[in-house]
Structure 1
Amino acid sequence: MKYRHIWILLFGLALPVQADWDSDKGCLSCHQGIEQFSDIPGMDFLSCTDCHQGNPTATDQTTAHNGMWANPTDLRVVEETCGSCHADEVAKARTSIHATMAGVISGTRYDFGAQGKDALYATYDVKALHDDLPPGTVAELKQLPSYDPTKPESATNSIGDDYLRNQCLRCHIWSDGHQRDGDYRASGCAACHVEYSNAGTYEGNDAAIDKSEKDRPRFHRMTRTPGVDQCQHCHNRGARTGTSYKGMMESDGYGTPFTESGDKQGKLHGKHYNFLQADLHFDAGLSCIDCHTKDEMHGDGYLYEKKHNAVEVRCETCHGTNEAPATLKTIRGNPMDHLQRDGDRITLTTKADGKVLEVPQLAGAELSAEGKAAMVQIPAHMEKLECHACHTAWAPQCYGCHAKQDISKPSGDWLLGSSDDPSQASNKGNREANAFSWQESRSYVRWEMPALGVNSRGKVSTFIPGCQVILTQMDGENAVLNNHTYTTVDGTSGLAHNPVFAHTTSKQARTCEECHTNPKVWGLGSGVYDMSANFPDGEAPVPFELERFVDEEGNALQATNHKGARPFNKEELDNIRRVGSCLACHGSDEMPNDGQAPNDATHNAVLRKMLEE
């Protein structure tokens, strides 16, 4: 029965009463009060069995659920459900970075010395839907190999492949989420479009669902506007952009702040968190979908090698440049329909709640003295730096991932599962023991004064530790490898630092002194962490501190698994230091007032006088 409204007269007022939207009365005899999945025209008539299959005339649960799909949006069955109307979106979704995980896979394998920086593998075999290959895309990807410990390590038999299959690849839309607080979600289209609470419990009115049972959506309802928490169910590892956006930084396990009862707060994503400054866009009310486009999220048919290749928005997309206002289009020319221009004024209407926000424009903006110095008096900043190089307030820095694999303990594989219900094959409990057990720990964490380097666009960018794996491989009680690190095919250490947009944007920029006088920011390390002290025999896994990813001569010490990205070279380091030397006298407070001698002779005379004194 198609959804409709019936109007009745109550106390002289006409009130809408929702009629039964489902013709499968057998389902509703148990699932009384269940929410209509969608009231969008074209979907409002769908019955339970249109999506879930099963037997609507049965009088017992076993018969009713026979042949039922628990999640009709799972990519294994979606062509018969969502794909019957949205075939193009479903096909593109399989090519999206959310489905392939191509960047995580290629980066990890590069750090493990198993391949170069080209993307070769994905979660499953997939081909691009287009014949042309823009930069940063490939024609096809093969499924990631499995690791066999009885064979030598090689390009097709890497321990890193097992690490990915057992740990890292729990976050892709072929898979259900990790079943713990903060990570609950479904697979397929529902990974984004059906919201889960952090607790993973049902909050709706279906009488047949236990509200204390975990791994349930909040409501039996589709959303077109998933919120930040939904994105955070995956984006809490790696670059950690989901948690950082809300100002959440992993603690070392203390679990503060305490609850009202004095107990420690429970873990989220398997970790405790400190709460730092949130991104100014989050504070303003923007969700992830207010910046990131449908093509980025759903896929556009191209197989992108890295996440940054798929992203089509820049700060300039909304804020323009010093010379010109925003074009209201992405770098691929797609319109940002929720941005509007009214004369010199540009507004953004948030997709979730329709809040209208004014978007500041750089062109013609009234800059602070510091902003004028950085953005006008030194035009090279605007030419050579990403906006976030200066406006990133902090960044998560997780150093030294000690990863232990035990090949005597078969464990679940996020890419291989089986179930009588194909839509549940990727559920954590249905994974096949095709991988091995892993445990992770780390050396230390930081958030302050993130390092800088050059990204794949040739611009100065924030850098954070990537996959810094120090591997111990066990076979029961016997150590096969102990605190082992890899060397990449390019000859650097397999420990990595990579460029990132940290999603911790602040209106207050970093100071001139922070970037021009601090060796940690240059990638040279702080000189504080002595790794050798942890190894009494003097055999530290690497001969450098974990914060240090370049030496004073500009030689890369750690891996950077983005094509074209690198630490500063010697010339750049010298130029940065030279400015730092000047700042000893010409502090950032003086820079806006020019702070320059009228000519070289006067400047030299001042220097001589200082040296004589």
Structure 2
Amino acid sequence: MNYLTKILTGCGLAAALMAPAYAAWDSDKGCLSCHEGIEQFSDTKVMSKLSCTKCHNGDGKATELELAHKEMWANPTDLRVVDQTCGKCHKKEVANAKTSLHATSAGKISGTRYDFGAQTRDSIHATYDVKALKTGREGTVAELTQLPSYDPTKPESDTNSIGDDYLRNQCLRCHIWSDGHQRDGDYRASGCAACHVEYSNAATYEGGDKAIDKTQKDRPRMHKMSRVPSVTQCQHCHNRGGRTGMSYAGMMESDGYGTPFKENGGKQGKLHGKHYNFLQADLHYDAGLTCVDCHTKNEMHGDGYLYEKKEYALEIRCETCHGTTESPATLATIHGDPMDHLERQGDKVIINLKGQDRALEVPQLMPAEEKNGQLQSLPLALSPEGKVAMVDIPVHMEKLECHTCHSAWAPQCYGCHAKQDIGKSSGDWLTAKPGGDPSKASHKSNRAGDAFAWKESRSYVRWDSPALGINHRGKVSTYVPGCQVFLTQVNGEQGIISNKTYTTKDGTSGIAHNPIVPHTTSKQSRTCTDCHTNPKVWGVGSGIYDIQRNFPDGEAPIDFELERIVDEQGMQLQATNHKGARPFNKAEQQKIQRVGTCIACHAAEAKKLNADAPDDITHSKLIRQQMNK
């Protein structure tokens, strides 16, 4: 003990100076004896007063790890304990969250089971039993029961589907009852923290808590709540299926090359188990909009209804912010609720970006301004090309979704080759090992081995010229493959089922294409020739992929190429999992082709368009007449 310490000890100051720097906001000094430097979870008026044990339980006075962590909840927002934590103040939000598609995965489950021939398009199952808090809205149900398990000792049936095991071991890693997959890009927490606690793609801690290893995986970026989730946070789930989270940022999975090589000659690192190519990002992403600048609280948190598919839960469309050629932007959801971060300033619409001290002007098809309390329309703000596409050919606005033309590309994963090994048990995302911390029951390491092992691959991937078809609203929409299952079942090295495809309850092949909003919006639209002269876009396929030669060990289970949704007579070949969705019928195909025939000669003339020129000088009246029929 040096001289200064002796003096300080004598006056009782040494202990004070040498003690850890406890945070003033937390009364649980036992916790802080180890977790010195930890961030205050929230500085909001109420939450800033919360101590460690108010959320995490445990013993705030103990200074030994085992005693301090006794009956502790590692994640207080997990849906198994959330009613005792977040739910004490946010009871309505927590109750709604349990009915949300983020919790039920109802659309994902019904779509997969439909493709496996186990049910109709109606949603009947969820991750867990759940009842609606509200009923009566289109596309909703009163209750959903938990997804069944698969027993290989019993025959396949509607209640014993191999697809259920596929969901339990693979697809259902992404819902807010689950803690998520344990690999770069997929790490996250469960419950409210799945969105509101940020994880980096590497999932290492970057904060000041001295007790947390900065190299250990599966840690949040900070011990902080984020009111506005980042695009990266949303991507931790939205990287499979429609892949909209990745597409929004211009990321498209590659065929696994991992090039260009790094300086040391190695391959590029993986996210979500995939290598990526970088394509044109969505223009909203380039402008700085995060997902929640468009998507509403009700869409994210749920509103008490049990929606069957995401299209029914959707509250916004392009016209919400941009208007149409016939009416100004509503700046309100389809249910009439105002979008509070949107406002009119004179003849302009401004969006105040959430979580950012920044505002942007929103381009308007039909500008408007308020005069004497009334909204008055102003002349259309369109380019010459836009006038032709949206005004001279009004059928585009009447029968097409905006993204049909303005989605430059879409991810297309053809052929989902799935292999189940019933000789090897594996984790089930819906069941947990008994005992332990209930808030960690959904962690990958705590999954019960109630499912079987699966491996996945595909035939090929593309991004250009996605197909078109009719969506649930009766409008032309972008279509992508999903899901095109070829099932192989083995028991160790013993083959049982080889490349089986299913037939849906409606009599189509379980190989599927579905409508999608790709989240790849560009100002420049798809060309007339891409839509009107490309058979792949019409849904009849390119005629290039030889399905038979791609099954060299046996007869191909289907007799159509993977891009071929429908034949030239309008007979549907592939499944569509969404009610009301379908490929083009024969009459619609013929109409598209007639216009394409005109374009073949008049494309050069069309490029010389001038919005003010008379019809006989502008592009062919014939094209316009054919389009408007």
- Tell me whether the two structures share a fold, i.e. TM-score over 0.5: yes
- The letter for the 1-side match of 2:159 is T
1:362 maps onto 2:365 in alignment: yes
Match of 1:386 in 2: 401
Over residues 301-339 of structure 1, what are the superposed CA-to-partner deviations in whole Å (9 max), with x where a residue is unaligned? 000000111111000000001122111101011110000
Once the two structures are TM-superposed, the CA of residue 494 in structure 1 deviates from its matched residue by 0.2
1:23 maps onto 2:27 in alignment: yes
Once the two structures are TM-superposed, the CA of residue 456 in structure 1 deviates from its matched residue by 0.2
Could you say what the CA RMSD is over the residues aligned between the two structures, in angstroms? Answer: 1.5
1:570 maps onto 2:586 in alignment: yes
1:86 maps onto 2:116 in alignment: no
Match of 1:409 in 2: 424
Match of 1:579 in 2: 595
Find the aligned partners of 2:409 and 2:614 in 1 and give their Cα distance. 29
After superposition, the Cα gap between the structure-2 partners of 1:528 and 1:489, relative to the gap in structure 1 and judged at 3 Å, is same
Find the aligned partners of 2:470 and 2:605 in 1 and give their Cα distance. 27
Q: Is the 1:287–1:352 Cα contact (8 Å) retained in structure 2?
A: no
Q: Is the 1:512–1:588 Cα contact (8 Å) retained in structure 2?
A: no
Within-5 A mapping of 1:582-597: 582-587=598-603, 589-590=605-606, 592=609
Match of 1:505 in 2: 521
- The letter for the 2-side match of 1:410 is S
1:267 maps onto 2:270 in alignment: yes
Q: Is the 1:511–1:588 Cα contact (8 Å) retained in structure 2?
A: no
Once the two structures are TM-superposed, the CA of residue 277 in structure 1 deviates from its matched residue by 0.2
Identity of matched residues, %: 72
Over residues 521-557 of structure 1, what are the superposed CA-to-partner deviations in whole Å (9 max), with x where a residue is unaligned? 0011111111211223661121000011110011110
Over residues 213-235 of structure 1, what are the superposed CA-to-partner deviations in whole Å (9 max), with x where a residue is unaligned? 00000000001011000000000
Find the aligned partners of 2:381 and 2:85 in 1 and give their Cα distance. 53
Look up the SS of the partner of 1:586 in the other structure: helix
Q: Is the 2:364–2:381 Cα contact (8 Å) retained in structure 1?
A: no
Look up the SS of the partner of 1:44 in the other structure: helix
Match of 1:55 in 2: 59
Match of 1:36 in 2: 40
Match of 1:250 in 2: 253
- Structure 1, unmatched stretches of 5+, are 1-16, 604-613
Find the aligned partners of 1:595 and 1:466 in 2 and give their Cα distance. 45
Match of 1:202 in 2: 205
Within-5 A mapping of 1:71-470: 71-130=75-134, 132-363=135-366, 364-418=379-433, 419-470=435-486
Look up the SS of the partner of 1:473 in the other structure: strand
Find the aligned partners of 2:259 and 2:614 in 1 and give their Cα distance. 45
Once the two structures are TM-superposed, the CA of residue 370 in structure 1 deviates from its matched residue by 2.1
- The letter for the 1-side match of 2:388 is A
Over residues 60-115 of structure 1, what are the superposed CA-to-partner deviations in whole Å (9 max), with x where a residue is unaligned? 11111010000000000000000000000000000000000000000000000000
Bigger shift: residues 143-152 or 356-365 = 356-365
Find the aligned partners of 2:614 and 2:385 in 1 and give their Cα distance. 13
Across the two proteins, how many residue pairs are aligned to each other?
A: 583
Find the aligned partners of 1:589 and 1:262 in 2 and give their Cα distance. 51
Match of 1:65 in 2: 69
Please report the TM-score for the alignment, with normalisation by the length of structure 1.
Answer: 0.93
Q: Is the 2:103–2:176 Cα contact (8 Å) retained in structure 1?
A: yes
Find the aligned partners of 2:604 and 2:474 in 1 and give their Cα distance. 26
- The letter for the 2-side match of 1:513 is T
Over residues 402-432 of structure 1, what are the superposed CA-to-partner deviations in whole Å (9 max), with x where a residue is unaligned? 1000000010000001341000000000000
Find the aligned partners of 1:588 and 1:86 in 2 and give their Cα distance. 61
Find the aligned partners of 2:553 and 2:426 in 1 and give their Cα distance. 33
After superposition, the Cα gap between the structure-2 partners of 1:365 and 1:264, relative to the gap in structure 1 and judged at 3 Å, is farther
Once the two structures are TM-superposed, the CA of residue 369 in structure 1 deviates from its matched residue by 2.6
Look up the SS of the partner of 2:343 in the other structure: strand
Find the aligned partners of 2:564 and 2:614 in 1 and give their Cα distance. 33
Q: Is the 1:370–1:588 Cα contact (8 Å) retained in structure 2?
A: no
Once the two structures are TM-superposed, the CA of residue 19 in structure 1 deviates from its matched residue by 5.6
Once the two structures are TM-superposed, the CA of residue 258 in structure 1 deviates from its matched residue by 3.2
Q: Is the 1:470–1:483 Cα contact (8 Å) retained in structure 2?
A: yes
Find the aligned partners of 1:247 and 1:451 in 2 and give their Cα distance. 19
